[in-house]
Amino acid sequence: MFKNVVRGAVSAAALLSVSAFAAEPLGVGFVYVSPIGDAGWTTQHDIGRKEMEKNLGAKVKTKFVENVPEGADAERVISDLAQQGNKLIITTSFGYMNPTLKVAKQYPDVKFIHLTGYKTAANVGIANARFYEARYLAGVLAAKMSTTHVAGYVAAFPIPEVLQGINAFTRGMRSIDPKAEVKVIWVNSWFDPGKERDATLTLIGQGADVVTNHTDSTAVMQAAEEKGKYAVAYHSDMKKFGPRAQLGAVTHHWGAYYTQQAQAVIDGKWKPTSVWGGIKDGMVKFENISAAVPADVKLLVATKEKEIVAGTLTPFAGPVKDNEGKVRLEKGPMSDDALSKMDYYVEGVAGKLPAK
Amino acid sequence: MESFAPLIAASINAGTPLLLAALGLLINEKSGVVNLGAEGMMLMAAVIGFAITIHTGSVPLGFVAGALAGALLAGFFALMTVWLGANQYATGLALSLFGAGASAYIGISYVGQSLSNTRSAVPLLGDIPFLGAALFRQHPMVYLSMALCGAIIWFLYRTRAGLILRAVGESPASAHALGYNVRRIRLSALLFGGACCGLAGAFLSLVYTPLWVEGMVAGRGWIALALTTFATWRPARVLSGAYLFGGVTILTFHLQGLGVPIASQLLSMLPYLATIVVLVLISRNANWIRLNMPASLGKNFNPNQ
């Protein structure tokens, strides 16, 4: 008898507390394409998620699912998250675009944000970052630190986003050193530490004394450290993998954006937006610059950064020539449309794009 | 010439994990068992070898631990297929998936740690111009894998035990009738194969890229499986095939760096393409099949029936 009373009281209390809290915080679900890991694409999204939690406190309750394959599985995970009562769902890989749109149709009262996609809907907003702005700064620094005038770039697949990075880096280098050359090796994989390492060693063997990459592992940084060369980190700070090698890091920052989007949902003011944020918006940074970099070089990079924020410097302002001499843009800044279709190497990149 | 030596050295280095794994798989298949779990065994060995080396500071111990991890999984595979009669292909695939998941779980706390350079040169020989740089500045495991290939050739074609192993792969029923314990022989072959795949995995995380990250084997287990077929179950061809596959990757990188336009995607699929071509060729030639492909490959054998 007494036991039943206690049990009843406990469950009533539990119910009360659940309803008292469950009604309050906004459920935010995240879908990650890989494990959170230590230094990659997903790591930065998870840092963003935590930052949002810190900023909004008890107003949000987040949930994430990692290592979700793109395609049919993603659809199931996204609709699970919607069913569990999350009112804002953030999907963080290109391949989630169609699954996100499909689930969004079934849950019109749930808001969705898809990263790196291009399709929006009444309840689906999109966002991406202008990584190439920070790549330009990395190129400026690389040109100042290179003695061979050759930089190496380990790249995954020849899609516009990767080409923007290669080209911006090259233009950054060339703005300082007109003799600079960037050699590119495609490894045809987002993630294969063995290949990334071999590609790096090949580039170093061919004279590159600064390397960088658009792939997901830390192998490039480690190989550069081992060979006593410089490297620019991508995604995250990789100082711990290359304490002497790391010149700086091109990093992503999603926290502020996620916070602002969640706040908009809480306030009932959310609208589907299409955001392509750069350094000015705090979504991309060139940071963790090595102590080995001389003060005047640091100052130069900082000046260029200010110019980018002010809008007086854009990495792809005309004239933009491709590496076969064809003029791709006469003058003025390149349109977002042209940027998102980039399929050529700019002047200064060695070789030809594969399959062209 | 100067830039050619590192190219050869890098090709041999890149081919070594393929060679180790493919030699083990060759012994498996000579006994009539296909183990598709190579990728999973390599991943488990990579993480366990790495963990042991981080904690003890000893690379050889890491290799031993990796080999044991591979053998342990292979023992489990043997129990399932040789004793309980489970389908070899399905069990192997399950082993691969299990290895991928379990290694990721075990490895969580090791992500981001790295070993210092574990390569070393052979004294004196490493200083020989050209040849030294190409051949004698590798990790000892590279030379061991070459020696292993020689030992396997000798074992398969020059020893009685090798003959029995091949007989089991050709016709387990006849070997059984002659009084050989088919199950025990297949178990030993599988344990050896697992240990070799383990060495291959440990080579990746200890020497090739001295770090652990989830999924770092990146399909090399599958390439090794393709390689045994590509080499038509001949150890010497496994060796040349491994260095060829390793060399193709390195050469692509080299040419790309020099600005030679080639479709690198095409070269990524070359190992598999070459294997398909070989399969088509050998299936057209009855002699090749009779000579090389173990006749009972993939078929379970139950001595009690």
Chain A stretch 29-58, residues whose beta carbon is closer than 8 A to a beta carbon of chain B: 35, 37-39
Distance from CA of B47 to the nearest CA of A (A): 14
Interface test with B, best of A33, A170, A198, A241 (most B CBs within 10 A): A198
3-state secondary structure chain A: CHHHHHHHHHHHHHHHHHHHHHCCCEEEEEECCCCCCCCCHHHHHHHHHHHHHHHHHHHEEEEEECCCCCCHHHHHHHHHHHHCCCCEEEECCHHHHHHHHHHHHHCCCCEEEEECCCCCECCEEEEEECHHHHHHHHHHHHHHHCCCCEEEEEECCCCHHHHHHHHHHHHHHHHHCCCCEEEEEECCCCCCHHHHHHHHHHHHHCCCCEEEEECCCCHHHHHHHHHCCEEEEEECCCCCCCCCCEEEEEEECCHHHHHHHHHHHHCCCCCCCEEEECCCCCCEEEECCCCCCCHHHHHHHHHHHHHHHHCCCCCCECCEEECCCCEEECCCECCHHHHCCCCCCECCECCCCCCC
Neighboring chain A residues of B14 at a CB cutoff of 8 Å = 194, 198
Residue scoring higher pLDDT (A144 or A33): A144
Reported ipTM: 0.77
CA distance B301 to chain A (A): 38
Q: Cβ–Cβ of A38/B112 closer than 8 Å?
A: yes
Structure tokens at B197: 């795949």
Contacts of B264 in chain A (CB under 8 A): 186-188, 354
A170 touches chain B (CB under 8 A): no
Q: How far apart are the first and last CA of chain A?
A: 81
Please answer yes or no on whether B213 and A205 come within 8 Å at the CB atom.
no
Would you call B230 helix, strand, or coil by DSSP? helix
Task: Considering only the beta carbons, identify the residue of B220, B257, B261 that sits closest to A354.
Answer: B261
* Most confident among A28-37, A145-154, A180-189, B219-228 (mean pLDDT): A145-154
Q: Which of A35, A201, A352 sits opposite B104 (nearest CB)?
A: A35
Test A193 with B260 for CB contact under 8 angstroms. no
Chain-centroid distance of CA A152 in Å reads: 20
pLDDT at residue A246 greater than cutoff 60: yes
Contact A354 B265 (CB under 8 A): yes
The whole-chain average pLDDT of chain B stands at 87
B6 pLDDT higher than 90: no
Residues of chain B in contact with residue A240, where contact means CB-CB under 8 angstroms, are: 112
Q: Which residue of B has its CA nearest to A36?
A: B108
Q: Do A352 and B261 touch (CB under 8 A)?
A: yes
Residue type, B258: L
pLDDT at B248 over 60: yes
Size of interface A-B (CB pairs under 8 A): 109
Per-residue pLDDT for A355 more than 80?
A: no
- Note the pLDDT tens digit of each residue in B83-126: 999 999 999 999 999 999 999 889 888 877 777 655 555 555 66
User: Residues of B with CB below 8 A from A197's CB?
Assistant: 208-209
Q: What is the strand order of the sheet A60-65 is part of? A: A60-65, A26-31, A88-91, A111-115, A124-129, A274-277
| Cβ neighbours of A190 in B, within 8 Å | none
The residue of B119, B213, B267 whose CB has the most chain A CBs within 10 angstroms, and thus the best one to mutate to test that interface, is: B213
- Mean pLDDT, to the nearest integer, of A10-37? 68
Least confident span in A20-29, A206-215, A291-300, B156-165: A20-29
Q: Is B211 helix (H, G, I), strand (E, B) or coil?
A: strand
Please answer whether residues B74 and B190 qualify as being in contact, where contact means their C-beta atoms are separated by less than 8 angstroms: yes
For residue A288, give both structure tokens.
Answer: 């963790």
- The backbone torsions φ and ψ at residue A213, rounded to the nearest 5 degrees and listed phi first, read -150, 155
Q: What is the pLDDT of residues A166-200, one digit of tens each?
A: 999 999 999 999 999 999 999 888 888 889 999 99
Task: Report the mean per-residue pLDDT for chain A.
Answer: 89
Mutation target for A interface from B253, B254, B260, B269: give the one with most A CBs within 10 A: B253
Question: 3-class SS at B218?
Answer: coil
User: Which among A37, A195, A206 has CB closest to B257?
Assistant: A206
Inter-chain CB proximity A198 and B250 less than 8 Å:
yes
Q: From CA A208, how far away is CA A182, in angstroms rounded?
A: 8
Residue A226 contacts B, CB cutoff 8 Å: yes
Q: Which of A34-38, A73-77, B68-72 has the lowest mean pLDDT?
A: A34-38
pLDDT confidence bin for A19, thresholds 50/70/90: very low
pTM of the model: 0.81
- Mean pLDDT value of segment B225-231: 88
- Hey, are the CB atoms on A201 and B10 less than 8 Å from each other? yes
The pLDDT confidence band at residue B243, using thresholds 50, 70 and 90, is very high
Chain B residues within 8 A of A202 when measuring between CB atoms: 10, 250, 253-254, 257
Interval A201-245: pLDDT, tens: 999 999 999 999 998 888 999 999 989 999 999 998 998 889 999
Which pLDDT belongs to residue A18? 46
Per-residue pLDDT band for B132 (boundaries 50, 70, 90) equals low
Q: Which residues of B touch A351 (CB under 8 A)?
A: 256, 258-261
Q: Which has more confidence, B270 or A147?
A: A147
Q: What is the CA radius of gyration of chain B?
A: 19
| CA of B249 vs chain A CAs: smallest distance (Å) | 8
Residue contact B213–A193, C-beta within 8 A: yes
Partners of A212 in beta bridges: A153, A232
Q: What does the DSSP 8-state code read for residue B114?
A: B
Task: Give the model's pLDDT for residue A244.
Answer: 93
B211·A195 Cβ contact <8 A: no
Contact A202 B263 (CB under 8 A): no
Looking at the predicted structure, is the pLDDT value of residue A272 above 50? yes
Residue A173, CB-side half-sphere exposure with 13 Å CA sphere: 32
